[in-house]
Structure 1
Amino acid sequence: MHEKSRFFETSSWLISLLLVFPILAIFYTAMGGDNEIFGHLMATVMGTYTYNTAVIVLGTVILSILMGIPTAWIMANCDIPGGRWLQWALVLPAAMPGYIVGYIYTDWFDYAGPIQILLRDIMGWTSPAHYWFPDLRTLPGACFVLSLVLYPYIYLLARASFMEQSVTLSQSARLLGCSPLQAFWRVSLPLARPAIAVGASLVAMEALGDFGTVSYFAVNTLTTAVYDTWLGYSNLNAAAKISAIMLVVIFILISSERYSRRKQQLFSQTVSADKIEKVKLRGKFKIAATVFCWGLFAAAFAAPLVQLIIFALGYLSSSSVIDFVQYSLNSLYVSGIAAVAALGVALLVNFYRRLSGKSVSAAPSRIASLGYAVPGTILAIGVLIFLTRGDHLINDVAKYFDLGRPGLVLSGTMFAMITAFVVRFSGVAIGSVESSLQKVAPSLDMAARTLGCSAKSMIKRVQLPLIRRGCLIAMLLVFIESMKELNAAILLRPFNFETLATYVFNYASDEQLELAAMPAVLLVFVGLIPLILINRSLERGHA
C-alpha cells in the first residue's frame, strides 16, 4: 500500500528538521563570532587537549578490543565453568558509569587505599620512596577505567558475529591442518572484523564524548574544553568551534569505519543443521580462560558494585533521603517526558515511511536519528545555541506587542534538558519501532484497507496493537538512557535542579561518593534493564 498522508509527511519532515537544527546550529555559530578566546586556546592548550583526546580514544579502543574479543570468542565457542551465566554477566559492566568506577578504583589504589596499605604491611615498606606503584589518575588510568565499562560494545557485537559464523568454516580450517588458534586468526577473526569495527567505532565515540571520567581524573580533553569554555569563559562561540571540530572527527570515524568494509559481503550464516558444538577446554587453557573471563567481570562490575553497596549501607544514616527522593523525582519527570516525546517522533517517522513506501520517506527517520551519534556535551551546546535564538525571538515578539520580556523561556528551563534527551535518544526509539513495524506483514495493511479502514484507522486498530511491545521497549530504552545521561544534563539543567546523574557526579567530584552511593546503586540497576533485554534478544536469535 502506498498512500500519501499529508499529516504524516508534514509532521515527519518538520520534526526531523527540528531535531537536526541543534547540530547545524553548532557549525553555523562556529563560522562566526569573535575568535579571540578560541585563538588563545589554540595557541596555548588546544594541542595538549587534542593529544590527550587522541590518546584516550586510541588507548580505550585498544584495551576494549583486548578485553572484548577474547571473551566474545570464548563465550561463543568454548565451554567453561559458569559459561551460561558468564555470557550475559560480561555485558553488565556497560551499566556502570565510568566516573563511578574511576572513583572506586582510585579509592582502592591510592596511597591511603587498602591495596597499598596491604602491600606496605606485608612487605614492611614505610614510605613511598621504598616502592613504586602506578598512579591511576593519569591518561593510561583513564583509558583503563573507560575500557572496563566500554568493552561490552565490542563483546556483544563480536560474540554475535562469532555465533553467526558457520561451524563448517572452522572445521575446514582444522582439516587443512590449522590449530584452533590458527583457525581463529585466519577464519573467525577476519569474518568478525566488520562487527569488531562497528564496536570499536562505538567505543571511540563514547570515549571521545566522555566527560565524567576524564573530568574526575583531571585529564583535559576536547570534551572538557567545551565544558570549561562555556562555563568558565562564558563564550558560546568558542565552545561551538571546539564542538564543530569534534563533530568533524566523529564524522571521520564513522566514515572510515564504513569505508573500511565497503566491499565486504558475508553470506555464511549458522542454520539449524549447523549448530555450534562448543569446545571443552582442559588443563591450563581452561584455567586461563575461566580466570580471564570471571576476573574481567569481577574487576569491571562485581567488585565496584559490592563496594557501592557497602558505601550505601555504611553511610545510609549520613545520606540525605530527602535529596535522594527529590532528585529521583526530577530524573523520573524529565526522563518520562523525553521517553514519551521520543516515542511520538519514532511513530510519526516510521508510519510516514510505512504509508508512503517511497525511498525518500526514509530520510526523516535517518535525519532524526543523527543526534544519537553526537556526544552529550556537544549536543548540549547545539541545543543551547538553538534554544537561545528561540528565547531571543520570543522576547522580541513580546516586546513588540508590549508584553514585557519573559526571559529565558526555553534555554533556562527543564525544556532544554528534555530537548537534548529527545534529540540524542530519538534514534533509539526509531530503531525499536522500525524493527517491530517491519514484522507486521503488508498483507494486514491491505486487508484493513479492503475492509474500508482509513490510514489513521488502520494505524489505530491494526498496527499499533501489533507493535505495542516495540513501543514499550522504545520508551523504556529512552527513559533509561535519559536517567543516566550526565553530559547534557550537567550543562543544561536549570539552577538548583539536579538529576540522579548530576547528583552522583557532584559527590564523586568532591571525593564523597559514599554519600551518594544509594542513588549510584539505583543508576547501575536501572542501566541493567536494557542490557538484559539486549542479551535475551541475542540468545533468542541464536537459540
Structure 2
Amino acid sequence: MAETTSVPRLGRAPSRRRTKAAGTRGLATIAILIAALCLLPIVAVSLAAVTGGTDSVAHLWSTVLPRYTLTTIALVAIVATGTFTIGVGTAWLVTMTRFPGVRVLEIVLVLPLAFPAYVLAYAYTFVLDHPGIVQATLRQVTGWGPRDYWFPEVRSLGGAAAMFILVLYPYVYLLARAAFLQQSSGALLAARTLGDSAWAAFWRVSLPMARPAIAGGVLLTVMETIADFGTVAYFGVQTFATGIYTSWFSFADRAGAAQLALCLLAFALILAMAERAQRGEARFHHAGKRSMRLPPTPLKGWRAAAATTFCTVPVLLGFALPVVILVSMGVGSGQDLFGRRYQAFLQNSLTLATIAAVLTLCAAIVIGFYQRQLPGRLSAGAAYVARLGYAVPGGVIAVGLVVPFAAFDNGLDAWMRATFDVSTGLLVTGSIWLLIAAYMVRFLAAALGAYEGGQSTVHANMDAAARSLGQTPLGTLRRVHLPILTPSLLTALLIVFVDVMKELPATLIMRPFNYDTLAVQAYRLASDERLEGAAVPSLVIVAVGLLPVILICRQVGRRQS
C-alpha cells in the first residue's frame, strides 16, 4: 500500500510545480509587456525626433525653441517657489503651532487639489479680465476709461503661475506636514537649548530634516506644471506643451512636434533624476520616538491673526471663491447639463475614466505582485519603467504612441491594399483603446504607489503560509492579498479615475473623431471666450475631483486624531 499511495503524490508534485511555473511565467510576461508599453512613448519620441531631420531642428531653434525654453523655466521657477512657500508654511503652522481655526484649516487646506488649473483659470479670467466684474466696477466707481488705469493682466505668465500655485500647493503641504509630524522633539529642543529662536530652529533643523519629502512634493508640482496644456494655452503662454500641440495640429509638423516633445521629456527626466539624486544623498535620523514630538506652540495676538490669515487665503482663493464664481457663471450660461449633448460628454468621460482606472489598477497589481514574487533586476526594472509615466507629460505620451501606431496602421493598410485590394483604414490610431493606453502609461505610477503602500502591510509569512497550503501565486494574490488590500485598491482606482476625468493634452491629441469629454468641452468653450458655458462642465469635473480630496481629508483628520 505504501508503494501504491506514493505514486499519486509523486505524480501531483510536478504538476503543481508546472502550474506554479506557468503562472509565474505568465505574470512575468504580462508585467514586461506593460513595462514595454510604458517605455514605448519615450523610445518612439526619441526615434521620431532623431529621424525628423536637421531642418526642422534648425527652424525650431531659430524661431520658437529659445522662447519655449525660457518661458518654461520661468514658469517652473515661480511655481516651485510659490508652492514651497505656501505648502511648507501652512504645514509648519498647522503642525507646530495652535491658533484659531487650526483644526478646520489643517483639513480644508487640501481642498484646492480638486481643481484642475485650467478650470481655475476660466473662473478668474471671468472675474479679473477687462470685461469682468472687478474692472467694470472699478471703471464705474471712478469714471476712468480703459486706458486711464493699470490693472494686473491675468492672461500672462504670472497669472498662469498663480493658477498653478493655488491648485498644486497641497502636494507640498501634505508631504511636508507628514514629515513634520514624524519629527521628534529631541533635535528641536537641542537647538532651542543652544539659543536658537523658534524660526531659527525651523530653518536649521526641521526644514533640512523634511527636505526629501518637501523636494518630492515640489517635484510633483513642477511635473504637473510642465505637463499642463489647458492653462498655458488659454492664457497664451508659450511653453513646450503649447508648442507640441501647435506643431501637431496647426502646422501638421510631426517631426517638429516629436522634437519639442523630446525636449520636454528631457527636461522632465532631468528634474526627476536631480530630485532622486538629492534625496539619495540626504540622510537624516530622528533623535527620539514619535511620541516625544514637540508640543504645538500656542499663538496669540497678531501672530495668531497672521497665522489664520496665511492659512485661510489659499483655501479662499484656491477653492471657495472659484466655486462661487463657477456657480454664478453656470446659472445664466444656458448650458443644459441634462440635455442629450452633455449626457454624451458625461458618458464619454465616465467611460474613459472607468475603463482606464480599472486597466491601470490591474496593471499596477501585475507589476507590484511580480516584483514581490520574483524580486530581482528584471522585476525592479519593470517597476522602474512603469513609474516613468509620472515624469512624462500627456502631450509627449500622445505623440509617442500616435507616431508608431500610425506607422503600423499605414503599413498594414498599404500591405492589405497591395495584397487583397482591401483597405483596413486606421485600426488603432484614433481609437478609444490607444487613448486608454496613454492614460494607463501616464497614471500607472499613481496606482502603483498606492498598491505598493498597501502591499507593504502584507507580511511575507502570509505568502509562505499560502504556499504551504498549496496555493499558486495567482491563488495567493486572489485569496490573500486582494482582500487585505481592498482599501488601497479603491484609493488607487479613485485617484486614476479622477486624473483621467481632468486630463486634457493627451485627450485633445488622441481622442476619436467626434468623441469629446467634459474637459475637452470646457476647453473648447473657453477658447471661444464662452466662459459662462465652460463653467458647467468645469463644475462637474471639480465635483468628481472632490471625491479623492474628501478621502484625503478624512485620512488627514484621522491621522491628527
Alignment TM-score > 0.5, same fold: yes
* Paired AA for residue 60 in structure 1: V
Query: Is the 2:337–2:343 contact (alpha carbons within 8 Å) kept by the matching residues of 1?
Result: no
Secondary structure of the residue aligned to 2:291 is: coil
Query: Is the 1:100–1:508 contact (alpha carbons within 8 Å) kept by the matching residues of 2?
Result: no
* Paired AA for residue 223 in structure 1: A
Query: Is the 1:30–1:240 contact (alpha carbons within 8 Å) kept by the matching residues of 2?
Result: yes
Query: Is the 1:229–1:235 contact (alpha carbons within 8 Å) kept by the matching residues of 2?
Result: yes
- Quote the residue 1:519 is aligned against: 537
* Paired AA for residue 509 in structure 1: S
Shift of 1:318: 5.9
Give deviations 1:325-361, integer Å, cap 9, x for gaps. Answer: 1111001111111112112211222222222233532
- Quote the residue 2:456 is aligned against: 438
In the alignment, is residue 365 of structure 1 matched against residue 378 of structure 2? no
Give deviations 1:478-527, integer Å, cap 9, x for gaps. Answer: 11111111111011111211011111111122221212323211111211
Query: Is the 1:480–1:526 contact (alpha carbons within 8 Å) kept by the matching residues of 2?
Result: yes
Taking the aligned partners of 1:172 and 1:166, their CA distance within structure 2 comes to: 11
Taking the aligned partners of 2:107 and 2:182, their CA distance within structure 1 comes to: 17
Query: Is the 1:106–1:136 contact (alpha carbons within 8 Å) kept by the matching residues of 2?
Result: yes
In the alignment, is residue 263 of structure 1 matched against residue 284 of structure 2? no
Taking the aligned partners of 2:336 and 2:466, their CA distance within structure 1 comes to: 61
Taking the aligned partners of 2:475 and 2:421, their CA distance within structure 1 comes to: 43
Matches within 5 A, 1:229-378: 229-268=247-286, 271=289, 273-315=291-333, 321-378=339-396
Taking the aligned partners of 1:301 and 1:334, their CA distance within structure 2 comes to: 26
Shift of 1:262: 3.1
Taking the aligned partners of 2:219 and 2:290, their CA distance within structure 1 comes to: 32
Give deviations 1:464-484, integer Å, cap 9, x for gaps. Answer: 222233222222221111111
In the superposition, relative to structure 1, how do residues 536 and 266 fare at CA in structure 2: closer, same or farther (>3 Å)? farther
Taking structure 1 as the reference length, the TM-score comes to 0.94
In the superposition, relative to structure 1, how do residues 403 and 340 fare at CA in structure 2: closer, same or farther (>3 Å)? farther
Shift of 1:25: 0.5
- Quote the residue 1:414 is aligned against: 432
Structure 2 unpaired stretches of 5+: 1-19
Shift of 1:367: 1.3
- Quote the residue 2:495 is aligned against: 477
Matches within 5 A, 1:139-154: 139-154=157-172
Query: Is the 1:4–1:356 contact (alpha carbons within 8 Å) kept by the matching residues of 2?
Result: no
| Higher gyration radius (CA) | 2
For residue 504 of structure 1, the aligned residue among 522, 532, 547 is 522
Taking structure 2 as the reference length, the TM-score comes to 0.91
In the superposition, relative to structure 1, how do residues 129 and 18 fare at CA in structure 2: closer, same or farther (>3 Å)? closer
- Bigger Cα displacement from structure 2, 303-312 vs 511-520: 511-520
Give deviations 1:149-173, integer Å, cap 9, x for gaps. Answer: 1111211111111111112322222
Query: Is the 1:30–1:238 contact (alpha carbons within 8 Å) kept by the matching residues of 2?
Result: yes
In the alignment, is residue 464 of structure 1 matched against residue 482 of structure 2? yes
- Bigger Cα displacement from structure 2, 265-274 vs 291-300: 265-274
Query: Is the 2:335–2:533 contact (alpha carbons within 8 Å) kept by the matching residues of 1?
Result: no
- Quote the residue 2:226 is aligned against: 208
Taking the aligned partners of 2:327 and 2:42, their CA distance within structure 1 comes to: 39
- Bigger Cα displacement from structure 2, 234-243 vs 457-466: 457-466
Query: Is the 2:183–2:293 contact (alpha carbons within 8 Å) kept by the matching residues of 1?
Result: no
Query: Is the 2:182–2:290 contact (alpha carbons within 8 Å) kept by the matching residues of 1?
Result: no
Identity of aligned residues (%): 38
Taking the aligned partners of 1:498 and 1:109, their CA distance within structure 2 comes to: 29
Structure 1 unpaired stretches of 5+: none
Secondary structure of the residue aligned to 2:100 is: coil
Query: Is the 2:172–2:214 contact (alpha carbons within 8 Å) kept by the matching residues of 1?
Result: yes
Shift of 1:538: 4.5
- Quote the residue 2:148 is aligned against: 130
- Quote the residue 1:186 is aligned against: 204
Taking the aligned partners of 2:430 and 2:421, their CA distance within structure 1 comes to: 19
Secondary structure of the residue aligned to 1:421 is: helix
Alignment root-mean-square deviation, CA: 2.2
